[in-house]
Amino acid sequence: MLKGHCLCGAVRYETAALPAMETLCHCTMCRRAAGSPMVGWFTVPRESYRLVAGEPASYRSSEHATRTFCRTCGTALTFQSTRHPDEIDVTTCSLDNPEQLPPRDHTRASTRLSWIKLADGLPVYAEQRPKT
């Protein structure tokens, strides 16, 4: 069981699903939404993600995407796309133990900040990782 929460603890969630697509996203929208040079995400089936406390606020960040965040402390929590309605992406560092899910790659690196130097040896994809 993966469990997580926002900074202030008002919103708590859990999922029993096996995570997939653990990544560090470098896209401009993720960076702005989190106020960070990159954002760690993992994906689980939508039906496996369950709020156990609180109700996050949501923001439609593009024609196909909705992001959720804590309305009290602002912690970025999820990303949902109408292009993949059965999935939900969850911010890795909102997990109680982010060490459980290290990233497997870097995505959207075409918009990576020039002062970020990647030296972790993970695969780097200009946009999305190739379908396997």
Burial of 16 (0-12, 13-18, 19+ CB in 10 A): exposed
Is 2.170.150.70 the CATH number for 2-111?
A: yes
What's the CA gap between 81 and 53, in Å, rounded? 23
Q: CB of 116 within 8 A of CB of 24?
A: no
How far from the centroid of its chain's Cα atoms is residue 14's Cα? 14
Tell me the pLDDT tens digit for each residue of 2-59: 999 999 999 999 999 999 999 999 999 999 999 999 999 999 999 999 999 999 999 9
Assign 130 a pLDDT band (cuts: 50, 70, 90): confident
What does the pLDDT average to over 94-119?
97
The residue type at 10: A
Domain spans in the chain, listed from the N-terminal domain onward: 2-111
Q: Residue 87 to residues 78, 107, 118: CA-CA distances in angstroms?
A: 10, 17, 28
pTM, two decimals, is 0.93
123: its two tokens: 């695969």
Tell me the pLDDT tens digit for each residue of 119-128: 999 999 999 8
Residues contacting 22, CB < 8 A, separation 6+: 40, 41, 42, 92, 101, 102, 103, 104, 105
